[in-house]
Each structure stands twice: as C-alpha cells, then as structure tokens.
Structure 1
Amino acid sequence: MAVFQSLPQAISENLHAGDSVAFEGFTHLIPHAAAHEVIRQGIGGLTLIRMTPDVIYDQLIGMGLVKKLIFSYAGNPGVGLLRRLRDAVENDWPQPLELEEHSHAAMANAYEAGAAGLPLAVFRGYKGADLAKVNPNIKSVTCPFSGEVLAAVPSLRPDVAVIHAQKASKRGDVLIEGIVGVQKEAVLAAGRAIVTVEEVVEDFAEVHPNACVLPHWTVTAIAQVPGGAHPSYAHGYYERDNQSYLAWDEIAADRERFQAWMQDNVIAATPEDFAARVAKVRAAK
C-alpha cells in the first residue's frame, strides 16, 4: 500500500547503503529529484541498474556512491559521453566501478522476468556479438522443445525501483502518460518502489486507454515533487531542457568544476528547487 511522504522521508526509509536500485525512465520522466535526494543523503555502496544510464547516474557515480553498474548503453543523450562514468572506469575516480553491460533487449527481458518472479530471462539475442566474452552473466540455453540455442541472462529484481510520473490519485494509484520505458516492469520487479509525481489528484479522469496505471499496492512510497524530472521532460507538464544537457558535458569534464556544481545545485538545493527550474525554462521560452 502506497504511503505519501516527503521526498527525504521516502528515500531515507526505503533506500539503504548497499542496495541495488533502478532509477528508470526512457528520455522522459527521468527521476532527477529522487537521485539528487540520494546524493544529499550520501547513500553509498549502490548497485545501479538502468537501460540507458545518463546524467543522474553520472552524478551518482561522480559522487562516489556507486560500486557497480548494470546497464545497456550509457551516455549524455544527444550530446556524448558520461564523463564521470568514464573517469571512474579509466582512472578509478573517485572509486573503482564494476560494470555489467547488456543489450537493451536483454535488460528489457530481464526486467520482465523479474516482474514475473522468474530467475532468468530467455530470448533471441547476442548472436554474432562478443559481449558474452566480457560479461559472464550472459549464458546460452537450449530449448527443450525445438533444440534452438537461445540467450539467457539473470532476471533483474532490484531492492528498490525509483520512477517519476505525472499523477498519483489520493488512493495511491500512479498514472504514467506519454513515452513509457520499463518503469512498470522495474516497479513490479523491485522489492520496494518510490514514485515522485507532478501532482496528486482525487482520481484519474479521461485517461487514454494506452496509459500506464500502477495500482497502489505495487508502490511503497509517493512524494509530490513538481518538476522532479527536470531537465528531462514530463509529457503534458514541461519540455526537455536541452541546454542543461549541453551544459552538463562541460561541467562534468573537469573534476573540480563537477564538485563545485554538485555542491551548489544538489547538496545545497531542495526538492522544491525543481519547480523553480522548470518555471525558469518556461519563462526563457
């Protein structure tokens, strides 16, 4: 049953040092505010899981809170590298980072398997690819019915899933509209689920039939954080802040500049600052 909490409460009560955690959202509804609260609370030793690690994972890694990354493709979307991730891999700064790399198909299937309570995902994939040479968690199995050799990977069952969504009802149901990645699967696969939302409403009205609704019993904690996906976008609420992604490439390229930016914009900030950032972007347009 979902509990409504402040974001600091939701994070401190449900995410612990050493947990595996998936902050999911595909170009859209990326839970930046929640990730920043994790950084403020200094919760470390994390195993991060994500189909497309981007800026929030660059920040968590750069702040020394991550021991392992399970992922498929990593980059600053539309810009280039994740420079803090690269520094950790190449130079062990601020600490060594273990990598477990998969394809998008493997990650999606692994989340599906985790949501179904299965120990592994079986699918057609990795044929002709060399990723299995560096990832021992990529195996093959032979279909007992057809004899076909298929790829197999462990299911993903994170301790915690964190997502951002447009709305929560007062009962605790969560509505996601627009592009949906693997948020639903991540929530269903996780032991606990934290959701930040733009607004809390009495109930959902005029919901598109293809919208995703997570029932209240799949969610652990809900925090209302307007603007909580910035600089990514929230369909129906605000657009993507492209300038922030461009700026991040320069900020993250230098260790001292990165640390100063994080101090000013994350450590010394609050969840309420996200709404102000969205308002500033709207005013500029």
Structure 2
Amino acid sequence: MAEFLSLHEAIARHVHDGDTVALEGFTHLIPFAAGHEIIRQKRQNLTLIRMTPDLLYDQMIGMGCASKLIFSWGGNPGVGSLHRLRDAVEKHYPAKLEILEHSHAAMACAWEAGAAGLPLAVLRGYIGSDLPRVNQDIRHIDCPFTGERLAAIPANRPDVTVIHAQKADRAGNVLIEGIIGVQKEAVLAARRSVVTVEEVVDSLEAHPNACVLPAWAISAIAVAPGGAAPSYTHGYYGRRNDFYKQWDTIARDRDTFRQWMEDHVMNVEEGVSA
C-alpha cells in the first residue's frame, strides 16, 4: 500500500544501486524531481528503461548513474541529440553504457506484458528490421495455432518505476490526467513504485478517460510541486521550451554539463531543481 514519504526517503528506500529502474512519462509528467534525487543520492550501475529517454536520462547518464539503457527512441525533443548519452555510448564517458534498442510498438507491448505478469511480449514486428542483429533480446517464435512467425521480447519488469502525477488522495490513490503514456503499465509491471504528485487532496475528481492508480499498486508517494519541470504537468504548468533549447549547449561540453549539474541539482535541496 502507498506510504507518504519525503522524496529523499522515498528514493532512499526504493531505488538501490544495481536496480532496473523506469522513470516514465510522455511529453508531460516526466519525473525530473525524482530523477534529480536519484542523482543526488549517487545511485550507480542502474539499468534504465524508458520508451523515450530525453533530458532527464541524459542527466542521469552523464552523472554516471547508468550502466545500461533499454529504450525505443532517445533525443532532445524538437532540438537534437542527447550529448551525454552519445558520449557514454561512443566514448564510454563517464562510464560505458550498454544499449538495447527496440521499436515503440515493441516497448509498448513489453510494458503491457509486464503489467499482466507475463514473461514476454509477442507482436507482429521487426519485419525487415536490422534491430534483431544488434539486440539479442529480439527473438522469433511460431504461433502454435496458426504457424505465423512472430517477434518476441522480454516483458519489462523493473525493480522500481518512478512517475509523476497530478494528485493523490489521502488514501494513496493517484490521479493521472492528460497524455497518460505507459505510466499505468510501468507501475503495475514494477516490484516497487514511487509516485511524485503536485498535491494531496481529500478526494479525486476523475474525468472521463483519466487514469486512477490504486493505492495497492504504489509503494511510496512524495509531494513534489513542479516535479515534472522543465516538462509540463497538464492543468498545472507549461513546458519550458527555452530550457530544452538551452540544454543542447549545456550538455555538449563535459565541464559545462558538470558545472550546471553541480549548481542546479547536486547543491540544491530536495524538490524541483531544473
């Protein structure tokens, strides 16, 4: 059942060195505050999972938190490359980073399979693709009913999933509104989960098509107003497009990146630090 903790305590209890960790969110609700707390606590040797790793994973990789990345697209949305990710892959700085790349469809299927407690995901995909040549986790099986050749990949089953959401009620249920992405599946697939929220309310007023995560699926909830900045939280604040552009310059140079992280993440208190 969900336990209300400070962000520092939630990360300290549930994210450990060597864990497989997913910090999910699509376009908005990207859990920057939680990711920065993981960086401040100097977690290492993490296997990171995310459909679309962007600035937050660039920061975590650049600070040496990760040894492996499982993903389907990586970049600075609308701007260009993730320079810290590229430095880790191409030059092993600050540490070697193993990558396993999938298609979006495969990653979505892997999350659904994980949420259902299944060991693998099966899909029609990778026909004519070179990805199976570089990703040993892409296999093929024959359907026992039709004989059709299908692709199979391991289900995503992280040790811990971290997401950001709009609200939690006092019983520990969490409301997600707007673009939901795979947050629901990522939480249900994980052994543990940490959710940061903008606020705690007496009751959740869920609109049609909103998503409510039940308290039994959540390990810890931490209140972190602005916890998705510089991405946005639907209904609370907008996306800081200027920062995404600035990040391209900040992340290109190792020393500039490190100084920015020291000033804006490492040497600040728990909370929003971007």
TM range, smaller chain:
over 0.9
Match of 2:65 in 1: 65
Q: Secondary structure, in 3 states, of the residue corresponding to 2:25?
A: coil
Deviations 1:48-93 (A, max 9, x none): 0000000010001001110000000100111100000000111110
Contact 2:32 2:272 survives alignment (8 Å): no
Matches within 5 A, 1:1-285: 1-205=1-205, 207-273=206-272
**Take 1:6 and 1:189, find their aligned partners in 2: how far apart are those partners?**
23
What is the TM-score with the length of structure 1 in the denominator? 0.95
Kindly report the root-mean-square deviation, in angstroms, between the aligned alpha carbons of the 2 structures. Answer: 0.8
**Take 1:203 and 1:219, find their aligned partners in 2: how far apart are those partners?**
17
Unaligned runs of 5+ in 1: 278-285
**Take 1:57 and 1:40, find their aligned partners in 2: how far apart are those partners?**
14
Deviations 1:222-280 (A, max 9, x none): 00000000000000000000011001000000000000000000001123445xx7xxx
Deviation at 1:209, TM superposition (A): 1.8
Contact 1:58 1:85 survives alignment (8 Å): yes
Letter in 1 for 2:220: A
Q: Secondary structure, in 3 states, of the residue corresponding to 2:195?
A: strand
**Take 1:43 and 1:94, find their aligned partners in 2: how far apart are those partners?**
14
**Take 1:155 and 1:112, find their aligned partners in 2: how far apart are those partners?**
8
**Take 1:129 and 1:171, find their aligned partners in 2: how far apart are those partners?**
47
Runs of 4+ in 1 over 4 A off after TM superposition: none
**Take 1:271 and 1:24, find their aligned partners in 2: how far apart are those partners?**
20
**Take 1:213 and 1:239, find their aligned partners in 2: how far apart are those partners?**
22
Letter in 1 for 2:251: A
Q: Secondary structure, in 3 states, of the residue corresponding to 2:164?
A: strand
Q: Secondary structure, in 3 states, of the residue corresponding to 1:204?
A: coil
Letter in 2 for 1:210: N
Q: Secondary structure, in 3 states, of the residue corresponding to 1:186?
A: helix
Q: Secondary structure, in 3 states, of the residue corresponding to 1:165?
A: strand
Q: Secondary structure, in 3 states, of the residue corresponding to 1:108?
A: helix
Letter in 2 for 1:102: H
**Take 2:179 and 2:23, find their aligned partners in 1: how far apart are those partners?**
16
**Take 2:50 and 2:169, find their aligned partners in 1: how far apart are those partners?**
27
Equivalenced residues, count: 274
Match of 1:280 in 2: none
Q: Percent identity?
A: 64
Contact 1:228 1:271 survives alignment (8 Å): no
Q: Secondary structure, in 3 states, of the residue corresponding to 2:108?
A: helix
**Take 1:88 and 1:15, find their aligned partners in 2: how far apart are those partners?**
22
Deviations 1:167-202 (A, max 9, x none): 000000000000011000000000000000000000
